[in-house]
Amino acid sequence: MKIGVLTGGGDCPGLNAVIRAVVRKSDTLSSRVVGLRNGWKGLLDPSSMDLDGKMVSGILHIGGTIIGTSRTNPFKDAGGPEKALKNLRILGLEALIAIGGEDTLGAAAKLYEMGLPVVGVPKTIDNDLSGTDFTFGFDTAVSTATDAIDRIHTTAESHNRVMVVEVMGRNAGWIATFSGIAGGADVILVPEIPIDLDEVCDLILRRHSRGKSFSIVVVAEGAHFVEKPGAGGELVLQEAPKDEFGHVRLGGISQVLAKAIEKRTNFESRYVVLGHIQRGGSPTAHDRVLATRFGVFATEMVHRGEFGKMAALQGNRIVAVPLAEATATLKTVDMGIYGIAKEFFG
Ligand code: F6P
């Protein structure tokens, strides 16, 4: 069997671990693997590379993706989906493994309905894909953000400052909540709960009245203020056009927040945007194991003919869930876990 594999959307640590697992498992099942370059782009405008044991040797711990990625949407232009299906045939591929988040797998779900034999693997540092408890890449992003918060702690304390740390996560507060808990943040702000500036400043003032001279605020890039006169309500954006899936580029809320906190509390404040550092570098052991399990399971799904589904982690088991189900709604942060974080605010 000849299987295509592609990585779409924002990269994340663990992509190479999945590719390696797919190639190694396929080898044991006498199948060949071809990597499509740069996500769906490599299928629309065919560009591929043969992947064998030699190609994937030594990549388990390497960040990024050896086959490249892009935010190409096969449904953006008329005729795109038909072209993708035709090119799959031309390339002689009998199945495709799409490794991606809600955009890449959302497109895969629609292409499956049109006849594409596709299996999904859930990737994203944002952990916002439904149907799976965790996506790979998330644990590494949380570890990186936690390490940054630890470092920010010491300088915050030395200077008696409020430090506002902005993390990624798009419209979900998973990275903020997990890194905030792990890093001992005094306030964590997520997109799911609009920011009430009075409440944030009260928490910081309360902490400082207890003799503390510094505070750490972790804010998700997609967090926004409560809508009330003079307090905004809209997302803070970077100036950039939307991507092919219609997403704006988020970023900058920490700067606005640090300024507002300093004005209200008179505590000197600074902000830090962690940005793409969260997406780079070597995957954690947890992500290497999860990515490997996903890769092996997805390859088995292909050989079972279990198309239109995604390998998913539920509890400690890898199971197959329909792509349509996984991409129907965004998985926002678990309020039970956020509730734990709140116990430590202020
Ligand atoms: O979806 C992953 C992610 O890193 C988001 O957290 C972030 O909003 C976005 O991608 C950034 O995308 P880009 O790399 O295109 O700037």
Residues with catalytic roles: 126
Does residue 108 belong to any structural domain of this protein? yes
One domain for residues 56 and 184: no
- What percent of the chain has a predicted confidence (pLDDT) above 90? 95
Distance 340 CA to ligand 1 centre (A): 27
Last residue of a domain, one of 251, 280, 309: 280
Tell which atom from ligand 1 comes closest to the C-alpha of 128: 1
* Pocket-testing residue among 136, 138, 177, 249, ligand 1, by greatest number of atoms within 8 A of Cβ: 249
Considering only CA atoms, give the Rg of the chain.
21
Spatial distance between the Cα atoms of 29 and 129, rounded to a whole number of angstroms: 29
Tell which atom from ligand 1 comes closest to the C-alpha of 101: 1
- Number of structural domains in the chain: 2
Spatial distance between the Cα atoms of 132 and 121, rounded to a whole number of angstroms: 10
| pLDDT per position as a tens digit, 71-95 | 999 999 999 999 999 999 999 999 9
One domain for residues 132 and 156: no
Q: Residue 215's CB: how many other CB atoms inside 10 A?
A: 26
| pLDDT per position as a tens digit, 224-238 | 998 754 555 677 777
Does residue 340 belong to any structural domain of this protein? no
One domain for residues 167 and 46: no
Last residue of a domain, one of 280, 308, 338: 280
Here the tokens at position 170 are 């798009």
Give the CATH number of the domain where residue 222 resides: 3.40.50.460
| pLDDT per position as a tens digit, 153-195 | 999 999 999 999 999 999 999 999 999 999 999 999 999 999 9
Query: Cα 217 vs. chain centroid, distance in angstroms?
Result: 21
Burial (Cβ within 10 Å: 0-12, 13-18, ≥19) of residue 239: exposed
Give the CATH number of the domain where residue 106 resides: 3.40.50.450
- Please tell me if the CB atom of residue 124 comes closer than 6 angstroms to any atom of ligand 1: yes
Does residue 26 belong to any structural domain of this protein? yes
Q: Residue 339's CB: how many other CB atoms inside 10 A?
A: 10
One domain for residues 264 and 151: yes
Last residue of a domain, one of 245, 260, 280: 280
H helix runs in 29-67, sequence order: 41-44
Does residue 155 belong to any structural domain of this protein? yes
Spatial distance between the Cα atoms of 22 and 18, rounded to a whole number of angstroms: 6
Domain limits at 17? 2-137+283-326
Spatial distance between the Cα atoms of 239 and 242, rounded to a whole number of angstroms: 10
Tell which atom from ligand 1 comes closest to the C-alpha of 9: 1
- Please tell me if the CB atom of residue 169 comes closer than 6 angstroms to any atom of ligand 1: yes
One domain for residues 162 and 265: yes
| pLDDT per position as a tens digit, 97-153 | 999 999 999 999 999 999 999 999 999 999 999 999 999 999 999 999 999 999 999
One domain for residues 62 and 160: no
One domain for residues 293 and 274: no
Does residue 313 belong to any structural domain of this protein? yes
Fill in the DSSP letter of residue 136.
B
